[in-house]
C-alpha cells in the first residue's frame, strides 16, 4: 500500500497529492524535501529507489512539462508494481490535463482522485493475482514415473546381466571373436581332411617333366621382373642426411650472424676497496666521525612563508587551455544526430553509451558512470530539441551542468571562519583525518598545518597513529620544519605548532582526548588528529576509529583518499561511512564531513575519482594535494575538474 503520492512541478508547486490516512504528512514532506535536495538538485535521476529513514521513494520525471511523479511507501515492503503504476499514472495524468499543461497553467485544483484510485486498485489486484497463481501439479502422464516400464523398476541381482543393447564397440568385439572361432574350426576340419587323403605315387618321367616346368618358370621370372635395387645401410643414409642439414645450417648462420651477448658488467660501488675499519662509524672519537650534511631538499624553504595566507587558491583549468573545437573529441561521432523533434531513448542511447565509456576511461567508477548516464537520460527523455541544436551538444551540456552541480558543496564549508568562531568561544577546533594505508594522511596534515599557521592559528598535532612504525617520528620532523619556517620570535614568542604524543601501542581515542584537554588549557586554536591507516574491511581498526570519533566529537572528519583510484574509492567511502554508523554507540552517528584528495598531480586529466567520491558521499572535496611541498595544497574548482573530465 502506498503511503503518499504527489504530482509536483519542478518549480516546487504541488499540483495534486494523495495521502494515506494512517500516515503522518510531516514524514512524507520531509522525505520529498530530501529527495529534491539529494536527487533532483544533484542530478541523480538514475537512482531507482531513494531511501529516507524508513521510507522508500520512487520517482518518474516528465521532461516535456517539467513534472515529477513521486510514490512513497514503507521501505520494508517490496512492492513490485510501483514502476508500472507510476508509468500508468504518468500517462493518464498527461492525457487528462494535456491542454492546461501545454499552456503552462499550473494551478492547485487538479482533480485526479478517481483515476488514481482506479489505477492503484488495478495495479494491486494484478500484483495480488500474480502472487496467488500457484503452479498446478503435474498429472501422472506428465511425470517421469509414467515413462518408466515395469522391467526398469525390477531390482536386478548382482549376478544378473541387465538387458541392454550392446554398444557398437562391444558388438564389434563380439563379431571379431566369432570370426576367429570360425577360422579355427575351418583349419581343424581342413587338417583332418588332409590327413585322411592317401599319398600319391609319382614315377620318374613325371618328375623330369615337373623339373623342366620349374626351370622355364624361373627363366620367365628373371626376364619379366628385373632385380630389385641394392639397399643401402640405414645408418649410412641417416649420416648423409645429417651432413646435408649441417651444411645448410652453416650457410644460414653466416648470413644472419650476430655478435654474442656479453654478460652483465659488475657494478663498481663508491666504497669499493675500503676495509671494515674505515666504515665503522660507531667509534666515539670525534676526529674519526664523518661530517654529515643534510640534503637541501630536506631543509624547509623560507621563501614559502606568506604564500598560503587567506583562502586557498583553486586549481588551474588546464583543460581550457588545450580545448579543441566542438567538431572534434569524443562526441564527434554523433554529428549526424540533428534536432527538431522530441528526444527518445533511441536517440540518446548511442551518445550515452559513448559517454559512459569516456567517463570510465577518465577513472570514474563504472557504477557511477552508469548512474550519471541514467540521470542524463531521465532528464532529457521527452524533451523538445531545437532545429539547430544537436543531440550531442545537448547531452554534453546537460552532463557538464550536472557534474558541476554535483561537485559544488551543498553547504558552505569554511574552515578559517569556523576556526575563528571556535577561537572566540575559547575552545579548540578539532579535525580528524582518516583513510586507508599509504594515501598521504600525515603529509597532507602537515600541509594543512602550514596553511593554518600562515593564517595565524596555533596548531596542535595529535599523534594518534600508534600502529605504524615511524609515524610519530614523521610528525615530529614536520613539526620541526614548520617551527623553523614560523619561529616563535615572529609570533610573540608563541610556538605555532606543537606535537602531542604518548608513544606507540596506546588507545588512539584516549590520546585524542588528552590532546584536546591540553589544547584547551594552553589556548591552542586548532587540533589536527592523525589516525592510523586502515583498510575498510578491518573490523577492529574500524571500531577503534568509530570510538575515537564518538568519544571526542571532532568538528570535522575528513577522509583522505587518492586521486589514482577508481572503483576502489566507492568501496572505501561506503564501508568507512557504514562502519562509523554501525560501530557508533551514539543515537546519531557522525559520518564523513569532507574529502581530502591527494596525489592529484599524478593523474593528468583522469580526475574521475573526485566524481566518484562526491557522488557516493554527497560531501565536498575540501582540499586537493598537488605535490610534496607545504605549499602544494589547493581548493577544488568544480569547473576545472569537469572541464578536464569532458576533454
More confident residue, 259 or 146: 146
Task: Specify the higher pLDDT residue, 420 or 177.
Answer: 420
Binned at pLDDT 50, 70 and 90, residue 170 comes out as very low
- Residue 559 pLDDT level (bands cut at 50, 70, 90): very high
Task: Please return the burial class of 89, using the count of CB atoms within 10 Å of its CB with bins 0-12, 13-18 and 19+.
Answer: buried
Confidence of residue 188 (pLDDT cuts 50, 70, 90): low
Cell of 190: 581342413
Higher-confidence residue of 564 and 281: namely 564
Indicate the helix (H) or strand (E) that contains 451: helix 441-454
Cα–Cα distances (Å) from 481 to 297, 305, 309, 462, 474, in that order, read: 12, 12, 18, 17, 11
Which of 112-121, 204-213, 223-232, 566-575 is predicted with the least confidence, judged by mean pLDDT?
Answer: 223-232
pLDDT digits (tens, 9 = 90+) for 466-516: 888 889 999 999 999 999 998 888 888 888 999 999 988 889 999 999 999
Query: If you search the block for the grid coordinates 554523433, which residue do you land on?
Result: 334
Q: What percent of the chain has pLDDT over 90?
A: 16
| pLDDT at residue 214 greater than cutoff 60 | no
For residue 526, is pLDDT > 70?
Answer: yes
CA of 287: how far to CAs of 274, 275, 277, 281, 291, in Å?
A: 18, 18, 14, 11, 10
Chain center to CA of 28: 34
Looking at residue 528, its pLDDT comes to: 95
What pLDDT, on a 0 to 100 scale, did the predictor assign at position 401? 84
Q: What is the pLDDT of residue 227?
A: 47
More confident residue, 394 or 228: 394
pLDDT band of residue 420 (cuts 50, 70, 90) is: very high
pTM for the structure as a whole: 0.60
Q: What are phi and psi of 529, to 5 degrees?
A: -100, 115
Q: What is the pLDDT of residues 252-297, one digit of tens each?
A: 555 555 555 556 666 665 555 555 555 444 444 444 434 444 444 4
3-state SS of the chain: helix, strand, coil percent to 5? Answer: 45, 10, 40
**What DSSP designation does 562 have?**
E
340 falls in which pLDDT band (50, 70, 90)? low
State mean pLDDT over 323-328.
44
Average pLDDT value for residue range 617-646:
86
Query: Which pLDDT score, from 0 to 100, does residue 582 have?
Result: 84
Name the more confident of 31 and 357.
Answer: 357
Integer Cα distance of 90 and 92 in angstroms: 6
Tell me the average pLDDT across 546-563: 91
Residue 216 has a pLDDT of: 55
CB distance 545 to 434 below 8 Å:
yes
Q: What is the mean pLDDT of the chain?
A: 76
Read off the pLDDT band of 36 (50, 70, 90). Answer: confident
The answer to whether 605 and 647 have CB atoms below 8 angstroms apart is yes
> What confidence score (pLDDT) does residue 548 get?
92
pLDDT of the residue at 266: 66
Domains defined for the chain, CATH in brackets: 4-132 (3.30.450.60), 318-407 (1.20.120), 415-592 (3.40.50.300)
pLDDT at 288: 42
Run of H or E including 544: helix 539-552
Residue-level pLDDT at 389: 62
| Mean pLDDT on 30-51 | 74
Amino acid at each position: 500500500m502506498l503511503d503518499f503520492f504527489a504530482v509536483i512541478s519542478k518549480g516546487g508547486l504541488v499540483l495534486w497529492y494523495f495521502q494515506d490516512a494512517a500516515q503522518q504528512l510531516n514524514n512524507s514532506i520531509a522525505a520529498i524535501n530530501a529527495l529534491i535536495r539529494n536527487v533532483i538538485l544533484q542530478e541523480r535521476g538514475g537512482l531507482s529507489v531513494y531511501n529516507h529513514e524508513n521510507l522508500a521513494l520512487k520517482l518518474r520525471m516528465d521532461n516535456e512539462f517539467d513534472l515529477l511523479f513521486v510514490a512513497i511507501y514503507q521501505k520494508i515492503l517490496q512492492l513490485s508494481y510501483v514502476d508500472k503504476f507510476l508509468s500508468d499514472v504518468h500517462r493518464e495524468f498527461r492525457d487528462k490535463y494535456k491542454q492546461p499543461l501545454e499552456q503552462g497553467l499550473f494551478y492547485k485544483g487538479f482533480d485526479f482522485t478517481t483515476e488514481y484510485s482506479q489505477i492503484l486498485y488495478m495495479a494491486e489486484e494484478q500484483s495480488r493475482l500474480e502472487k496467488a497463481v500457484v503452479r498446478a501439479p503435474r498429472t501422472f502422464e506428465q511425470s517421469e514415473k509414467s515413462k518408466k516400464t515395469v522391467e526398469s523398476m525390477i531390482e536386478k541381482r548382482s549376478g544378473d546381466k541387465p538387458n541392454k543393447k550392446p554398444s557398437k564397440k562391444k558388438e564389434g568385439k563380439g563379431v571379431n571373436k566369432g570370426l576367429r572361432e570360425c577360422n579355427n574350426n575351418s583349419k581343424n576340419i581342413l587338417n583332418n581332411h588332409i590327413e585322411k587323403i592317401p599319398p600319391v605315387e609319382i614315377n620318374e618321367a613325371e618328375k623330369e617333366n615337373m623339373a623342366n616346368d620349374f626351370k622355364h618358370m624361373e627363366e620367365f621370372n628373371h626376364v619379366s621382373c628385373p632385380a630389385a635395387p641394392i639397399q643401402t645401410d640405414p645408418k649410412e643414409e641417416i649420416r648423409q642426411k645429417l651432413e646435408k642439414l649441417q651444411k645448410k645450417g652453416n650457410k644460414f648462420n653466416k648470413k644472419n650472424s650476430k655478435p654474442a651477448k656479453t654478460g652483465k658488467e659488475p657494478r663498481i660501488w663508491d666504497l669499493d676497496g675500503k676495509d671494515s675499519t674505515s666504515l665503522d662509524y660507531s667509534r666515539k672519537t670525534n676526529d674519526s666521525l664523518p661530517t654529515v650534511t643534510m640534503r637541501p631538499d630536506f631543509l624547509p624553504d623560507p621563501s614559502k612563508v606568506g604564500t598560503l595566507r587567506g583562502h586557498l587558491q583553486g586549481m588551474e583549468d588546464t583543460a581550457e587551455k588545450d580545448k579543441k573545437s566542438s567538431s572534434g573529441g569524443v562526441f564527434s561521432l554523433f554529428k549526424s544526430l540533428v534536432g527538431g523533434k522530441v528526444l527518445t531513448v533511441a536517440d540518446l542511447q548511442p551518445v550515452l553509451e559513448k559517454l559512459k565509456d569516456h567517463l570510465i576511461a577518465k577513472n570514474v567508477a563504472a557504477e557511477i558512470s552508469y548512474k550519471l548516464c541514467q540521470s542524463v537520460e531521465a532528464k532529457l527523455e521527452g524533451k523538445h530539441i531545437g532545429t539547430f541544436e544537436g543531440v550531442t551538444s545537448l547531452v554534453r551540456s546537460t552532463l557538464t551542468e550536472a557534474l558541476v552541480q554535483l561537485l559544488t558543496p551543498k553547504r558552505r564549508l569554511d574552515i578559517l571562519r569556523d576556526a575563528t568562531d571556535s577561537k572566540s568561544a575559547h575552545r579548540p577546533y578539532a579535525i580528524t583525518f582518516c583513510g586507508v594505508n599509504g594515501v598521504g594522511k600525515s603529509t597532507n596534515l602537515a600541509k594543512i598545518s602550514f596553511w593554518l599557521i600562515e593564517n595565524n592559528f596555533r596548531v596542535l598535532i595529535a599523534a594518534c597513529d600508534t600502529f605504524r612504525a615511524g609515524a610519530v617520528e614523521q610528525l615530529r620532523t614536520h613539526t620541526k620544519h614548520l617551527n623553523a619556517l614560523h619561529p616563535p620570535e615572529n609570533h610573540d614568542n608563541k610556538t605555532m605548532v606543537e606535537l602531542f604524543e604518548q608513544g606507540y601501542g596506546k588507545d588512539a581515542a584516549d590520546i585524542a582526548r588528552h590532546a584536546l584537554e591540553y589544547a584547551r588549557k594552553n589556548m591552542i586554536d586548532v587540533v589536527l588528529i592523525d589516525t592510523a591507516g586502515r583498510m575498510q574491511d578491518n573490523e577492529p581498526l574500524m571500531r577503534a576509529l568509530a570510538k575515537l570519533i564518538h568519544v571526542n566529537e571532532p568538528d570535522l572528519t575528513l577522509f583522505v583518499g587518492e586521486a589514482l583510484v577508481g572503483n576502489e574509492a566507492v568501496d572505501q567511502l561506503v564501508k568507512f561511512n557504514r562502519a562509523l554508523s554501525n560501530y557508533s554507540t551514539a543515537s546519531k552517528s557522525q559520518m564523513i564531513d569532507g574529502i581530502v584528495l591527494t596525489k592529484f598531480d599524478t593523474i593528468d586529466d583522469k580526475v574521475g575519482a573526485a566524481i566518484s567520491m562526491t557522488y557516493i558521499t554527497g560531501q565536498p572535496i575540501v582540499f586537493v594535494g598537488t605535490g610534496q611541498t607545504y605549499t602544494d595544497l589547493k581548493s577544488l574548482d568544480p569547473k576545472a575538474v569537469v572541464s578536464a573530465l569532458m576533454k
